[in-house]
Structure 1
Amino acid sequence: MTIPELEKFEVVVNRPDSQKEAPVESKSWFQRSRVLRRLLADKIAMTAVGVITLLIAVAVCADWLAPQDPNKASIADRLKPPSSAHWLGTDELGRDVLSRLIVATRLDLLASFEAVGIALAIGVPLGLLAGYFGGVGDAVTSRVIDALMTLPPLILAVVIIGILGPGLTTAMLAIGILIIPSIYRVVRASTQSTRSELYIESARAAGCGHGRIIFRHVLPAVSAPLLVQASFAASAAIVAEASLSYLGLGARAPQATWGLMLKEAASSLATSSYLLFPPAVMISVTILALSLLGDGLRDAMGRQNKEGGK
């Protein structure tokens, strides 16, 4: 070894501890990235957050915000156009449309959360285990998920509802089962890319068990793409619930959901077309807000990943 090389070697070896590279630690994506700050800077995404927050507030306070009893029928007031007494008019049974629309917001959001919750409760553990351990379990689970994805979604939902009986809870169970494959694939792919990271290897070398590594290190790493997928899944659940309720397979009268209100409005479309617009607008606005939020999260993470690769 030459003298200059020896001097460089001594500088590296004798470097103070404060200047040595710190070990890589597992942190949540909020802590270790700029995703949250980039999301807050996205005006469109923040507008979507505001709309979703408003919808949640309406759902929570539906009983106080509804001006009238949403299920109170009055034949004398049937199919009246919007007025000061009924801001959005009345339906074919004389019920206040605005009151039913407000109550339907709570039922639709709860139904969406229920479907996504079922998908997360099943898809996340399966994706984590399959992506982390691999092997035969991964192969078998992936083939089952692939087979589930080949089935027509609407037909599968109709079969499940036909077996368990119609109703909003049954419809959300069917929708949740249909969402599982998308959740599983996202979690599995993210887990496979995370398990080879340096901090995972360090955790194994330190003697951490598989359970601790999965829940302490892998799960926070997959939470970001999982959150994006969950926002898109929630919008899909809103559409699916409206479709099933319109077909008479979801919510049952006297429940008020946007899909059921569309079905009721269709019977009076020739004489009272105004009944169609309130639930259609609410469905469109909710889906658009959830989709824009998902796009904002995906864009923020995409820019973060590009910066991290530089």
Structure 2
Amino acid sequence: MRFLFVFLFSLLPLAVHAACEGRDLRPDISAEMQEELQLALKDFSFPEGNHWTATKDDTILHLIGTVHTNDPRMDAVVERLAPTLSQADAFYFEVTQSEMDAFEKQLAQDLSPVLITSGPTLIDMVSEEDWAALSKGLADRGIPGWMGAKMRPWFLSMTLGIPPCMIQDPEANHGMDARLTDLAAEHDIPQLSLERIEDLMAMFDEFPMEQQVQSLVRMADAFESSEDQLATMLNAYLEEKHGEIIQFARLQGLEASGLSEEIFDEEWGGFEQQLLVERNNNWMQHILGIQDQMAVIAVGAGHLGGEHGLLNQLEQAGYTLERAAF
């Protein structure tokens, strides 16, 4: 999520760090995991394609799956998309850059949305062994332990999911959505948000603190993103296999977590419900209100496919879908 980068970059001194390097993990997975992956994708609606058009009467929507992470290979993609997308009447993002800038200014005055400002900190809420593991992850990312201890559990979990090489790269968050923001600005096309950052954070805080801490401890290792995992995600994204990204991450997470499948599925299901299903449903209320214009819907690629994905929901709403060049 781009607001996470905004927050971290606003607080941390950036150090010189080597660019992220990693290898794609998919060619090395076992035959058993490959079979599980294909089985998971069998009934997955719209598992591929980063550019789809949804048409209904005089409304044309260009749905572009994005990632928030920089990769030079995206420059060529934007060059191919520009002639078509530059004709749009409006661009809709998860959150616009202007709203993220405003959020950064608010955080400079009030850190309470993402930090524990009173009562026990995380050091007091987890075991010494668990805190030692979390502290190492923070240190690898150049984040002081005292700051991590004050982070809300959901926010710390997201922070530890970012590889150290990204934390210390000022260009790390110039992903596809940032490039499309630049394209819209270049052609003076209005930009609108599908959600508010405040609402998203309120969604994370719906669960009691104790439950957030338990989830953080259980899933910290599973969600830890290595450079290999980053390379895998970016390669799969540029191959337009967004369904595979999600299902591969789930299987890798289960293997790395050491949890039983039942407990892991419970945690993963809550993660999907919050970050994908509920947000998709909220976004659809805005998207279905777009009438008689050509609009670009640029959101994380993981929001496109699946039963609750935007593509399936648009088809159910009577739109004609067609995969387009990316």
State if a TM-score over 0.5 links the two structures: no
For normalisation by structure 1, the TM-score amounts to: 0.28
For normalisation by structure 2, the TM-score amounts to: 0.27
Structure with more relative contact order (C-alpha pairs < 8 Å, separation 6 or more): 2
